[in-house]
Amino acid sequence: GGFGAVFQGVLSDGIQVAVKRLDNKGQGTKEFVGEVQTIGRIHHINLVRLVGFCATKSHRLLVYEYMSKGSLDKWIFHENDNPNLDWKTRMNIIIGMAKGLCYLHEECCQRIAHLDIKPQNILLDESFKAKVSDFGLSKLIRRDESQVFTTMRGTPGYLAPEWLSAAISEKADVYSFGVVVMEIVCGRKNLDPSQPEESRHLRP
């Protein structure tokens, strides 16, 4: 995962979880705990559920529900010899992503801009239900704010043009969502250096 290693674990009651170890840089414990508590109150069927965390001087750990099918990129970019997804499954994944983002942007008491939407951050459960994951880069936006200023973050290839001005809103996620939709439909990365020069970039 981005900004930290991810481990699979099992709780004392037998429930499988994914544990993400974050880089402990640039954020105090109080600020980290506050943001995690906000995210921990968010529950939606298309968002990976945060079940716990650990915050000490030397560790930042997030504990999430385990998603057995892994990340979307393993399925749409034909990695690990995974079979092709049928069109109904692809459509349902796109709808699930959209519902998860809509909840973050419109239905939370405090809007949340994810800021790193990409196939690696869309996880799939046993029935291929899509859930948005990895809020390590997310930005909380008050309802009275139309945009916020922040340093550029996210993944090249999925960044909205407005990042150049550093003033962004949740609409940056919509741009990234569109890029991922094209990748799902086409079954390839939006930038593929192995392709001929005229075909390296996916264009709408």
For 99-182, where are the E strands, in sequence order? 111-113, 122-124, 130-132, 139-141, 148-149, 167-168
- Contact between 112 and 173 under an 8 Å Cβ cutoff? The reply is no
Boundary of a domain, candidates 31, 65, 99: 65
Task: Reply yes or no on whether the pLDDT at 147 is more than 80.
Answer: no
| 26 & 93 share domain | no
Same domain, 44 and 135: no
CATH of the domain at 155: 1.10.510.10
- The reply to whether 95 and 193 lie within a common domain is yes
pLDDT of 37 reads 81
Q: Write the CATH number for 34.
A: 3.30.200.20
> 102 and 24, same structural domain?
no
- Show which residues are catalytic: 116
Average pLDDT over residues 124-150: 73
The DSSP call for residue 170 is T
**114 lies in a domain?**
yes
Helix (H, G, I), strand (E, B) or coil at 135: coil
153 or 60, which is more confident: 60
Query: Has residue 150 been placed in a domain?
Result: yes
178 and 77 within one domain: yes
Percent of the chain exceeding pLDDT 90 equals 41
Distance of CA 98 to the CA centre of its chain: 12
Number of structural domains the chain divides into: 2
Is residue 39 pLDDT above 90, yes or no? no
- Answer whether residue 204 is part of any domain: no
- Pick from 48-52, 56-60, 166-170: least confident: 166-170
21 and 112 assigned to the same domain: no
- Residue pLDDT, tens place only, 10-31: 999 999 999 988 876 656 777 7
Q: Between 93 and 77, whose confidence is greater?
A: 93
Residues 153 and 86 occupy one common structural domain:
yes
Which residue matches tokens 């709408």?
Answer: 204
Q: Of the candidates 65, 98, 115, which is a domain's last residue?
A: 65
Q: At 137, is the pLDDT very low, low, confident or very high (cuts 50, 70, 90)?
A: low
* 43 plus 96 within the same structural domain: no
Q: Say yes or no: 33 and 121 in one domain.
A: no
Do 79 and 180 reside in the same domain of the chain?
Answer: yes
Q: Which of 19, 48, 65 lies at the terminal end of a domain, its last residue?
A: 65
Looking at residue 24, its pLDDT comes to 62
124 or 156, which is more confident? 124
pLDDT reading at 92 higher than 50: yes
Parent domain of 39: 4-65
Higher model confidence: residue 128 or residue 36? Answer: 128
Nearest-Å Rg of the Cα atoms of the chain is 17
Give dist(CA 131, CA 83) in Å, integer: 20
Do 104 and 120 lie in one domain? The reply is yes
- What's the pLDDT at 136? 54
Same domain, 41 and 82: no
Question: What's the mean pLDDT when you consider all of the chain?
Answer: 84
The greatest distance separating any two alpha carbons of the chain, rounded to the nearest whole angstrom, comes to 54
pLDDT exceeds cutoff 60 at 1: no
Q: What is the pTM of this model?
A: 0.84
User: Do the domain assignments include residue 52?
Assistant: yes
